[in-house]
Amino acid sequence: MGLFGNSHETVYVGLGSNLGDRAGNLLLAIRGLLEAAFEVRRLSAIYETEPVGMQSPDKFLNMAVECSVTNVTPTQAMARMLRIEYILGRGDKSVKAPRTVDLDILFFGDRTLESEFLTLPHPRLHLRKFVLVPLAEIAPNVVHPKLGLSVSELLADCSDESEVVRWQPSMSVPSDAEESYQTLRSIIG
């Protein structure tokens, strides 16, 4: 709690996209987080992964973001992220289908929560390499408040055998997406 009752929390967000300009969608989602009063502190690299739990020929681009929020509850943060998804063309979040963008709260400080709307930490993060690989890049020592293991330990113990490859933009991807990503990383530090 801050001097005037301000509550600051570190929030880790997982981002994914497998429709349209995947890299551009991730960058727009990060911009949306900034506009929704998330202070973006760190970005992982972008990783290309196979879809998990859905039938889709299109691979995902995934990444993790470390943010800070002030005087925002987990439910308020999730509502802001759902709005970003909606603005960027995401359909029904409950449907396992290809998507322009997907934002998930992975950790909200060390809070735990189970509600109809939100579960913290994310209930499947420890089972998914596409979440753990980018998260371990920016938060290897963050401890899962329910499992008592660090992110790097969760990754080492993860039985998911899916391929998670650091994304390298090809000639088919507009060069401005990579330039925008590098600029964003340099601004954030």
User: Is 111 annotated in the active site?
Assistant: no
90 is catalytic: yes
Of the residues 21, 41, 80, 102, only one is catalytic, namely: 102
Is 160 labeled as catalytic in the residue annotation? no
| Total count of residues recorded for the chain | 189
Annotated active-site residue in 22, 80, 99, 128 = 99
Rounded CA gap, 153 and 97, in Å?
A: 30
Catalytic residue among 22, 80, 104, 128: 104
Catalytic residue among 22, 80, 90, 128: 90
Based on the residue annotation, tell me whether 99 is a catalytic residue of this protein: yes
Q: Residues with catalytic annotation?
A: 90, 99, 102, 104
